Amino acid sequence: MPAHSIVVAPSILACDFGKLHEEVRRAEAAGADWLHLDIMDGHFVDNISFGPAFVDAVAKVATVPIDVHLMVDRPDHYFPRFVKSAANITVHVEAQHDVAKTLAAIRASGRTCGLSLRPATPFESVVPFLDQIDLLLVMTVEPGFGGQPFMPEMMSKVQAGAAARAQWNYRIEVDGGINAKTAALSIEQGADTLVAGTSVFGAPDMALAVRQVRGV
């Protein structure tokens, strides 16, 4: 079972960019706890999404915390550009940086810090840093593109994160293919923070979709 209250974080990557401010307000009205923003540089993942100016534009109207996920080669170089608007900044263990130093720098900036790992990366790679994070992000798809199918085999990492959390206090976030069914499975294994994109922004009733992801 999760150690914290359930947070639903709609992924802005799945919204209508042409109606950005309306989409932010729609997500919040539907019950979003956070807003999740994926930053992709075209190098660390095979896609390019948006940058600091876009995040700042979201922050102009957002009233809930902004959760920034840096899928970039050099998160140590780029994270300061997101400090103004983000509440949490997550970086990847596989990226080209001193992980401990980057996490410490994010915290020193006054933001909480998260650490993520790709599906092919063993859980052991994040273990040395679990005492230094506020959030562990388990990718349940290969990062880079929205709308991919959920990878149930990633639940072993959620379980491992939940077991290790007995020593430390961090949230466990899942991202990729999250809908009512996969959210319930993730929560059962110990996740407490659910990033949902297509399943909520593309739903006929977004508020209902958010409640279903939350499990209520």
Strands 66-71 and 7-10, sheet pairing: unpaired
Which is catalytic among the residues 33, 73, 175, 192? 175
Q: What is the CA radius of gyration of the chain?
A: 16
Which is catalytic among the residues 38, 41, 134, 192? 38
Q: Are 131 and 168 in contact (CB under 8 A)?
A: yes
What is the sign of the dihedral through the CA atoms of 52, 57, 61 and 62?
negative
Q: Among this protein's residues, is 76 annotated catalytic?
A: no
State the residue for tokens 């949230």: 171
Rounded to an integer, what distance in angstroms lies between the CA atom of residue 200 and that of residue 163? 29
How much of the chain is helix, strand and coil, in % rounded to 5?
40, 20, 40
Q: Among this protein's residues, is 67 annotated catalytic?
A: no
Burial class (CB in 10 A: 0-12, 13-18, 19+), 53: exposed
Active site residues: 38, 175
